[in-house]
Amino acid sequence: MRFQVLTIVQHAPHPLTGELSPAADRLAEVVETGVAAEEWGFDAYAVGERHAGAFLSSSPTVLLGALAARTTRIRLLTGVTVVAILDPVRVAEDYATLDQLSGGRVELVVGKGAEMGHFDLFGLQEEHQWEYQAEKYELLRRLWREEEVSWQGEFRPPLTGVTTIPRPYGRRPPRIWHGSATSLNSPELAAKHGDPLFSANAIQPRPAYTRLIDHYREQFAAHGHDPATAYVGAGSGGLFIADTTQQAIVQFKEFYEARVRQSYKPHLAGKPGYNTPFRTIEDAIADGPHLIGSPQQIIDKILDFHQAYRHDLQSITVDGSGLGLPAQIEQLQRFAEEVAPAVRRAAPTTLWQRPAAEERSTAEERSELPA
């Protein structure tokens, strides 16, 4: 198993105190958490993208650029890049620039996004979200793999003989994952192209995500791809480690349940993927994707999910816990020391067997792409 830290850069008032940190402080915290994640041996750090709601993640390339300058080893992912609302040419340029700056450490997780408000913001029609997603992903894929691209589609002007610059690091396109939360569309697109899948595993009960992952694996093999390369990542509803599960409940219950009430979206009631059914901390521990409890309970829960998902990458989030930066970093340290080693031993994977730069810059790999 590999491990990632994810932030979607929430910026809502503390549900118990009402305090709201300045935006500059919140963004600086994201960078410091990423630096700490590298120091504690995490494999990746991911920044989400939101253009609506109480978030500060509208410009993930800027945040990841700051992280590229402060780190040397950790992979830099997105969570997700909302390709459905973006121009693929701009995405190709921005993330290839970041890829060069970071020495080939960039990987994208693409999706149509978890906030419907962004379609109106960008002058797009929500009813076409999956058509946007498929067409724009296909173009992005070509822009990174080919030069002199000529293309015509439905949702942007045609291209004739376009080569985006800069090219990705080592002339190898960054790996692209597909974020999956509620629909079979993303698993099908990932399977068609032999790409990895990233399950949200954040709000819904386990069967909702198992259905999507199982469909992905079936279609991956049906398209003729090697099942051994059907990599899967999985999120979590958040991390809170204490010495015992009872201590975790006592320390975290009031905050957790207040945050659930604060984030409830009545206009999306009944729509999968927006409001958690795990409204008490006891429900979240027993049946939700949340990693709350003692180190051993969290180990057992990740491995229990692994039985269903067979996932290779586990994502955790610490900045939605209401804790200050020192306590968030302590959570990362405890996870790295008390949870990760046991899970790595029990759930080995071939994902990311070599450092990112080594994977992306060998002479053999360079020779596979046109000059």
Into how many domains does the chain fold? 1
Arithmetic mean of pLDDT over the chain: 94
For residue 251, being part of any structural domain is answered with no
Residue with the larger pLDDT of the pair 117 and 308? 308
The pLDDT tens digits for 245-288 are 999 999 999 999 999 999 888 887 878 888 899 999 999 999 99
Contact 357, 61 (CB under 8 A): no
244 located within any domain? no
pLDDT of residue 363: 35
In a domain, 271, yes or no: no
Residue 101 has pLDDT above 80, yes or no: yes
Residue 285 lies in a domain: no
Identify whether 254 is part of a domain.
no
More confident residue, 171 or 306: 306
Is residue 278 one of the residues assigned to a domain?
no
**How far lies 246's CA from each of 242, 296, 322, in Å?**
8, 13, 19
Q: Indicate whether 247 belongs to any domain.
A: no
Q: Reduced to 3 states, what is the DSSP secondary structure of residue 45?
A: strand
Residue 332's pLDDT band (cuts 50, 70, 90): very high
For the whole model, what pTM was predicted?
0.95
**Confidence at residue 87, expressed as pLDDT on a 0 to 100 scale:** 97
Strands 197-199 and 232-234: parallel
Residue 361 confidence class, pLDDT cut points 50, 70, 90: low
In a domain, 6, yes or no: yes
| CB-CB contact of 197 with 187 (8 Å) | yes
Q: Cite the beta strand spans of the chain per DSSP E.
A: 2-7, 44-47, 75-78, 106-110, 149-151, 159-162, 176-180, 197-199, 232-234, 239-241, 291-293, 313-316
Per residue in 171-208, pLDDT (tens digit) is 899 999 999 999 999 999 999 999 999 999 999 999 99
CATH code where residue 313 lies: 3.20.20.30
Q: Are 6 and 79 in contact (CB under 8 A)?
A: yes
Which residue segment(s) compose the domain that 175 sits in?
2-237+293-366
List the structure tokens of 323: 């804790």
Give the HSE-up count for residue 315: Cα atoms under 13 Å, Cβ half-sphere: 30
